[in-house]
A = this chain, B = another copy of it.
Amino acid sequence: MTNTTATNSTAVITSDDFLKNWQAHRALSRRVLAAFPEKELFEFSIGGMRPYNLLVGEMTGLASAGMNGIVTGKWETTPALDHFNDEITLTTKAELLEAWDEVTEQIDVLWPQITASRFQETEAAFGQYPNTIINTLQYLFDNEIHHRGQGYVYLRALGIEPPAFWDRF
């Protein structure tokens, strides 16, 4: 391989790149969560969609249970993580922010335990969605941006200026 020839197999993103980009996005997602007024976080919605607390619950639940499954092969939440999947039990913004920070730390702790070969293994994520581990991680990443973008609309509809999307570098 030379640098003047394009190849399909050129590595463009490393494990470390992926983690850094995800955590930078998660820091932005945390600021979007923090920008919601307490009441509207749990009550406001548009077009019959879920209020933002449930979208945040999905983000933390998938990230937490996902990282656990990726590292252990057990696609179940541990008792200590159950509250992320049962997000409705978190009833204040402060609790959601605290859960967010726990997951941030959990990702940083578990990530180095993903072996090099593990990323390319195929497994049914959450016992239901067969995919490679890296594609499952990509899904968690993409899904968070998707729902956070919806949070931007909620904030705008509430007359609140959201954090800048590009403020991650």
Chain A residues engaging chain B, CB cutoff 8 angstroms:
1-18, 21, 25, 46-49, 111-119, 131, 134-135, 138-139, 142-143, 145-150, 152-159, 165-166, 169
Partner of A119 from the list B10, B134, B152, B154 (CB cut-off 8 Å) is B10
Task: Return chain B residues, CB-CB under 8 Å to A145.
Answer: 142, 145-146, 149
- Residues in B with CB closer than 8 Å to A149 are 145-150
How far, in angstroms, from A76 to B125 measured CA to CA in the complex? Answer: 42
Min CB distance, A114 to chain B, in Å?
6
A1 partner, pick from B116, B134, B152, beta carbons under 8 A: B116
Copies held by the complex: 2
Q: Are A114 and B6 in contact (CB under 8 A)?
A: yes
A131 to B6, CA, bound (A): 20
A167: min CB distance to chain B, Å: 12
How long is the Cα–Cα vector from A155 to B2 in the complex, in angstroms? 47
In the complex, what's the smallest C-beta–C-beta distance from A62 to chain B, in angstroms? 12
Measured between alpha carbons, how far is A12 from B157 in the docked complex, in Å? 38
A18-B13, A46-B46, A135-B169 are known contacts. Are A6 and B153 too (CB-CB below 8 A)?
A: no
A-B pairs with beta carbons under 8 Å apart, 13 shown: A3-B115, A3-B118, A10-B14, A10-B116, A11-B12, A12-B15, A13-B134, A13-B138, A46-B157, A142-B145, A146-B165, A149-B149, A149-B150
Q: Given known contacts A12-B119, A25-B142, is B153 in contact with A49 (CB within 8 Å)?
A: yes
Docked-complex contact A146 and B143, CB < 8 angstroms: no
| Set of chain B residues within 8 Å of A155, measured between Cβ atoms | 47
